[in-house]
A and B are shown apart, each in its own frame.
Chain A
């Protein structure tokens, strides 16, 4: 597990993207730098309870997350976070996940 989720940020105008783009949709610059977003606000959640062709499926929680100074991304949720909560983001096997921020 690595902290934050890797995104691509336009070197010219600073717009952040996930997934990767070829040109920036704002300024059409073609040069991107790697960046990481570490937290975001949960907007909607779903629980995937049934998948075609799968008989041993275990329900999985997914969320649409508005990242801070970054794009909206779809993440797997590792806990019972609900819409409106701020969660921390991390990667597992290069896939984006999130969970509630630990209480300091």
Chain B
């Protein structure tokens, strides 16, 4: 439990499908930072620490970004863990503030690769991908997670329409998120008729690449603007290379720490009011929820169809990356954290979950060869 560190502000840039002339990774990141500082009512001069992640910041690094932002720091981190980078940075920043290393700390993530840039990143994600998958024409992560999805369907009896209920529910949440790139209602007919991308994944199973950025501010809870509840992190855990790629990919690294996470947080799955589950693919949402112990009897199909599909549980209430868009893997993870903060501070507007008090957020990513190698989860609570 962090007693002297909390999330006090959030901000984001616009999300766009294609960056326009004059827009870059750097400008999206700037816009998110400006919004977060304004939200937290903090002057840029006060920032003592910064954590950043991006697939498209290079050749710049974190210190280049500090220079361009005109902030002098005593704590700096650049994270490279893809879909769990945001969660990783959150943990480091909380410990940084809690121990007095720096405060406030700015955590930011953003990308503006464009489709061509994204394709290059996907083919050169790591040495294993470049040498052993790209020569096959694997199509980036869609190819990898099509095989994982097929495995999940066989093992758990999940059907295509079960995943469809998840996509439709998230689109319904996105309708009330002005930043989401896709907000129009999605029907089951449209979902099932969508073109196949990589069997069994169709268009609405594949997260749309966008350009954009997110930022959050970590500081002592006393720095939270008046009249707003700070958001405390009760527990946070990470996992890296949990099984050496020797499993089936249907469990994530969350399975290695879930029980410890709940015990440390003093909470159980039924306490959760809002969940932000990293959603690059619907199959991985179910895998993470299953690892967290949130799916009764490991009945993934029923949970997808009824709990998520009928919106009996509040999962990815900003529309998730599936509807809001994925600005690289990293910023998408930070979007989930930001949404949990807005929900717990009762500032989520028309998509507000009534009396939200406790949330779970996750991250998942960095496909090593057959599936992701990083995962993280945290339990957040509204401080009264």
CB < 8 Å neighbour of A53 from B119, B131, B138: B119
Contact A47 B136 (CB under 8 A): no
In the bound complex, residues from chain B placing their C-beta under 8 Å from that of A50 are: 139, 195-198
Task: Tell me the nearest residue of chain A to B209, going by C-beta.
Answer: A52
Residues of chain B with a CB closer than 8 A to A94's CB: 131, 135
Total number of A-B contacts with CB less than 8 angstroms? 94
Whether a CB of chain B sits under 8 angstroms from the CB of A45 is yes
Is there contact, CB below 8 Å, between B132 and A51? no
> Would you call B140 and A51 a contact (CB within 8 A)?
yes
Which of A19, A46, A49, A95 lies in contact with B369, CB distance below 8 A? A19
The residue that A62 contacts in the complex, of B119, B138, B151, B200, with Cβ under 8 A, is: B138
Q: Map CB proximity to B onto A38-54 as digits: 1 under 8 Å, 0 otherwise.
A: 00000111111111111
Q: Map CB proximity to A onto B186-204 as digits: 1 under 8 Å, 0 otherwise.
A: 0000000001111111000
Instruction: Decide if A62 touches B135 in the complex (CB within 8 Å).
Output: no
Q: Which residues of A contact B144 (CB under 8 A)?
A: 74
List residues of chain B with CB within 8 A of the CB of A60.
136-137
Flag whether B118 is at the interface (Cβ < 8 A). Answer: yes
User: Once the chains bind, are B133 and A74 in contact (CB under 8 Å)?
Assistant: yes
Q: Which residues of B contact A (CB under 8 A)?
A: 115-116, 118-119, 122, 127-128, 131-133, 135-140, 142-144, 146-147, 150-151, 154, 195-201, 209, 244, 246, 369-370
The reply to whether B132 and A48 form a contact with Cβ atoms under 8 Å apart is no
Roughly how many angstroms separate A74 CA and B368 CA in the complex, as a whole number?
12
13 additional contacts (CB under 8 A) given A52-B119, A74-B370 = A25-B244, A43-B151, A44-B147, A45-B199, A47-B199, A51-B142, A53-B115, A60-B137, A62-B147, A74-B369, A75-B136, A95-B132, A95-B136
